[in-house]
């Protein structure tokens, strides 16, 4: 009996989910990709600066 109530509750909760539309998903995906690329570039530049600084010191 308890399993039946659990799955009924799961079905009810799934009905409350609001799924984003295609436009929203596209915008959020583009934002995540842009932030990932920007962060990757920042890390690459910092790595080069630190590497150059260490080779200058040593």
35/29 Cα distance (integer angstroms)? 10
| Entry pTM | 0.65
Backbone angles phi, psi at 10, to 5 degrees: -65, -45
CA distances from 21 to 28, 29, 31, 37 (A): 11, 12, 16, 25
pLDDT single digits (tens) 25-34: 999 999 999 9
36/30 Cα distance (integer angstroms)? 10
Backbone angles phi, psi at 19, to 5 degrees: -85, 140
pLDDT single digits (tens) 8-56: 999 999 999 999 999 999 999 999 999 999 999 999 999 999 999 998 8
Instruction: Please give the structure tokens belonging to residue 52.
Output: 């150059």
């Amino acid at each position: 009996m308890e399993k039946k109530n659990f799955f009924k509750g799961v079905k009810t909760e799934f009905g409350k989910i609001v799924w984003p539309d295609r436009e929203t998903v596209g915008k959020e995906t583009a934002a995540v990709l842009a932030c990932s690329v920007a962060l990757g570039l920042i890390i690459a530049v910092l790595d080069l600066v630190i590497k150059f600084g260490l080779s200058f010191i040593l």
